[in-house]
Amino acid sequence: MATGNGGRSLMPPLLAVNIVVYFVILGLASWSVDKFINGEQNHPHLGGNPSTGFMLIFALIAGVTGACSVLAGLLHHLAWTSHSLAAAASLAIISWAVTALAFGVVCKEIILGGHRGKRLQTLEAFITISVVSQLLYVVLLHAGMFNTRYGPGYATSGNHGSSIAMAHQETRKTSTTVIAR
């Protein structure tokens, strides 16, 4: 097995799960926001409590950033360099943070109780699933830091780059010879 390909086989199934979960979140949150804007809070599949509006907005933001994170992950999977790793990892962390915020509001909505329709309960479940699956994705992306078997590391040598903060420049060693007459 080539160096850095241990985690590469785990990425496509995780990316597939994440894209499906985030598209479901986007669909359910978009439908629910549409019903809220139209003033149909008493819809049998909607319901909710005072935190529902906040949860829907955070779910939409988490769905969009999560879908973008999956696209960056797909591009990283195809390129498999430390440069694409940096882009995919940073977007994955941001996406996980926003999804964790949405999960926090979901917890608050569950604690407040009240009538929550089936679609809201389904959205809550998918946000919970997305927090876990996005965290697994972030861990998989960062596994290369601990062992180069799992991916291109942040500071590997060769064609993958050699530094996070500064560009690497090779110095040429030249010698000059002086010819005496």
How far apart are alpha carbons 65 and 116 in whole angstroms?
Answer: 25
Over the stretch 52-82, which tens digit does the pLDDT of each residue have?
889 999 999 999 999 999 999 999 999 888 8
Q: Is residue 40 within 8 Å of 127, Cβ to Cβ?
A: no
Average pLDDT of the segment spanning 163-174:
46
Mean pLDDT, all residues of the chain: 83
Q: What is the model's pLDDT at position 149?
A: 65
Over the stretch 89-103, which tens digit does the pLDDT of each residue have?
999 999 999 999 999
Own/partner pairs for 30-36, CB < 8 Å, 24+ apart? 30/60, 31/119, 32/56, 32/119, 32/120, 32/123, 33/57, 33/60
Q: What is the model's pLDDT at position 162?
A: 40
Q: What is the model's pLDDT at position 180?
A: 72
Over the stretch 101-147, which tens digit does the pLDDT of each residue have?
999 999 999 999 888 888 999 999 999 999 999 999 999 888 866 76
Q: What is the model's pLDDT at position 9?
A: 85
Q: What is the model's pLDDT at position 124?
A: 95
How far apart are alpha carbons 100 and 134 in whole angstroms?
Answer: 10
How far apart are alpha carbons 126 and 25 in whole angstroms?
Answer: 6
Per-residue pLDDT for 2 more than 60? no
Q: pTM for the complete prediction?
A: 0.78
What is the DSSP code string of the chain?
--TT-TTTTTHHHHHHHHHHHHHHHHHHHHHHHHHHHTT-TT-TTTB--TTHHHHHHHHHHHHHHHHHHHHHHHHHHHH-SHHHHHHHHHHHHHHHHHHHHHHHHHHHHHHH-S-B-HHHHHHHHHHHHHHHHHHHHHHHHHGGGT-GGGS--TT--STT-S-SSS---PPP-----PPP-
